[in-house]
Structure 1
Amino acid sequence: MTDSKTVLRYPQVQAEGLDDWRFFLMKLHARFSTRSFVKGLELVTRITEAAEEANHHPDVVLTYPQVDVDLQSHDVHGVTSRDIALARRISEIAAELGVEAAPREVSTLELALDVPAYAEVKPFWAAVLGYDDSAWPSEIMDRGGRNNTLWFQEAPGATGEVQQRFHLDIVVPREVAEERVRAAVAAGGTLVSEEAVPAYWVLADAHGNKVCVCTADGREPAGE
């Protein structure tokens, strides 16, 4: 039997025959079409019981009309036999409740930034987004698992004047905004503009890539 801390690769996961699940970006992903919020809550409750019994806990998002489940062994940042076992149990629970899986609907969006050297800007982006920068050398991740991962693709030609086609807006509570701005500047960033404060601050990393720290204070709805 595979050790519970051994990270499994794509062929190994595929060989397990987890029809309800898809494996990418070092996680197992599943979506269950509950068709009602009540049925979704019932499924989540049963998943919670199974997770407690296994002492292994997935990331679960309940919305109408579906439940999304991600499985990863957080201590090794990958899929292990623990995740395979719990995935099977969750599929069994869904079948017992008459809930169908929708594996073709799962996806994960990552954002990539071309940089000449990621070490020069990674601390800034971790600070301004409030992300964890400890898991992978060239990647930072949302600590709560809700927002997109940002990774840095080293591109030696990404130098000189920045011609940025889009930038990120990170929206935070008003009481967090100035703290986040100070942290980003301390991590090597530049405060580009405060003209729209408290609606948003414009900052840039050491290569000139811009990001806005936004709040709801002073922002008008689109179209007004």
Structure 2
Amino acid sequence: MPDEQDDATALTFTSVQAEEGLADWRMMFQTLETRYATGSFATGLELTSRIGAVADELDHHPELDLRFATLHVRLISRDVFGVTGRDLALARRISAVAADLGVGADPGAVEIVELALDTPDRAAIKPFWRAVLGYDDHPLHDGEVRDLQGIGPALWFQQTDPHDEPRQRFHLDVRVPPEVAGPRIEAALAAGGTLVSDERAPMFVVLADAQGNKVCVTTGLGRD
């Protein structure tokens, strides 16, 4: 049965914790994730292939990150942007496949890195950051923008009192292909940003949002 016709109720963290047969998995915001210690690339490919077969059978598909000795698996029902019964069913099947291959899970290795930006007025700067990162609004939370493919870190806006522009101790570098840099910069400027410096363009261009928070849009051009 297609995903959109299956159970589409997003489950809570507490309800997922109460489920059995999920020892390999951890609930991470709107996803269910684990990392398998495959030990070799060949074993990782075999596990990936078997997961693919199960996913096609259930018509619900995971997001996979295969490395030399690990396979990271992320489950999410994107129609509701959360974990549903479809994900639980697939998780249990994946665990069984991994056990059959003798591959152990290391769910303690799972983590999500998010960026938080203090602001007295998120509406004034959110369009800039959405544009310069090439992100979208979070489907459920107004105070966050994110890469809906789950690759880049989410950026959320934390309410704070108005304050003078601080001297930043870190900023974001957004590395994009050269042909993407121009349109990305134009979109960020159109979304309320300002040009701080283009002296080192096309290597990098420094932009700032309306509250002075800076970001560099960088490319490989001009580098050795």
For the criterion TM > 0.5, the same-fold answer is: yes
- 1:59 aligned to which of 60, 63, 72: 63
Q: Distance in 2 between matches of 1:71 and 1:61?
A: 12
Question: Which residue number in structure 1 is paired with residue 10 of structure 2?
Answer: 7
Q: Distance in 2 between matches of 1:204 and 1:43?
A: 45
Instruction: Give matches, 1:1-224, under 5 Å.
Output: 4-17=7-20, 18-135=22-139, 136-155=141-160, 157-220=161-224
Given that residues 162 and 207 in structure 1 are in contact (C-alpha distance below 8 angstroms), is that contact kept between their aligned partners in structure 2? no
Q: Distance in 1 between matches of 2:75 and 2:83?
A: 7
Paired letter, 1:64: F
What SS class does the counterpart of residue 196 from structure 1 fall into?
coil
User: What root-mean-square deviation, in Å, do the aligned CA atoms of Structure 1 and Structure 2 show?
Assistant: 1.2
Q: Deviations over 1:167-208 (max 9, x none)?
A: 100000001101100000001100110011011000000110
Q: Distance in 2 between matches of 1:184 and 1:127?
A: 5
Q: Distance in 1 between matches of 2:65 and 2:78?
A: 17
Q: Distance in 1 between matches of 2:103 and 2:214?
A: 44
Q: Which runs of 5+ in 2 are unaligned?
A: 1-5
What SS class does the counterpart of residue 200 from structure 2 fall into?
coil
Q: Distance in 1 between matches of 2:16 and 2:57?
A: 23
Given that residues 138 and 152 in structure 1 are in contact (C-alpha distance below 8 angstroms), is that contact kept between their aligned partners in structure 2? yes
Q: Distance in 2 between matches of 1:100 and 1:201?
A: 45
Q: Distance in 2 between matches of 1:198 and 1:58?
A: 37
Given that residues 169 and 213 in structure 1 are in contact (C-alpha distance below 8 angstroms), is that contact kept between their aligned partners in structure 2? yes
Query: Structure 2 vs 1, CA of residues 144 and 6 (structure 1 numbering), >3 Å: closer, same or farther?
Result: closer
Q: Distance in 1 between matches of 2:216 and 2:191?
A: 16
If the length of structure 1 is used for normalisation, what is the TM-score?
A: 0.93
What SS class does the counterpart of residue 156 from structure 2 fall into?
strand
Which stretch shifts more, 131-140 or 20-29? Answer: 131-140
Q: Distance in 1 between matches of 2:219 and 2:10?
A: 40
- The number of aligned residues is 217
Given that residues 159 and 207 in structure 1 are in contact (C-alpha distance below 8 angstroms), is that contact kept between their aligned partners in structure 2? no
State the percentage of identical aligned residues: 54
Q: Which runs of 5+ in 1 are unaligned?
A: none
Paired letter, 2:60: H
Paired letter, 1:114: D
Deviation at 1:158, TM superposition (A): 4.3
Q: Distance in 2 between matches of 1:70 and 1:158?
A: 38
Which stretch shifts more, 136-145 or 106-115? Answer: 136-145
